[in-house]
Amino acid sequence: MNSWENCTTNGIATLACLEVIIQIFLNMAVRLAGIAAFVMLLVGGFQYLTAGGDPKKTQAASSTLTYAIFGLVAVIAAWFILLFIEKFTGVTLTQFNWPFQK
């Protein structure tokens, strides 16, 4: 039951729609976290390039890059956890569909 149309009764959402809502939320959260990690990598790189040899600025840029890499690793791990759950439960969590898409 991976579509909004299959879980509604006469156009009214039922409890079965909870699976679809969770699927949409998890997909969007993982993708937004990946985008945020990529943006932070760009910001950290820009900070490092514009540090001009200042040790404090270089340290701040280095920590930004480190945390961005940790964030990216966490997003990739979350995606693999979703794939793992998908394989064992049969619930498709890694395919993004808009709720009202036909």
pLDDT tens digits, 44-94: 999 999 988 889 999 999 999 999 999 888 888 888 888 888 888 877 766
Per domain, the residue ranges of the chain are 4-89
Residue 71, H or E segment: helix 55-89
Q: How high is the mean pLDDT of the chain?
A: 81
Single-letter amino acid, residue 39 = V
pLDDT(3) > 90? no
Determine the angle formed by the axes of helices 55-89 and 17-49, rounding to 10 degrees: 160
What pLDDT is recorded for position 1?
46
b (16+ CB within 10 A) / e for 24-60: bebbeebeebbeebeebbeebeebeeebeeeeeeeee
Spatial CA neighbour of 91 closest among 16, 11, 10: 16
Task: Quote the tokens at residue 94.
Answer: 């890694």
Instruction: Give the max Cα distance, the chain.
Output: 65
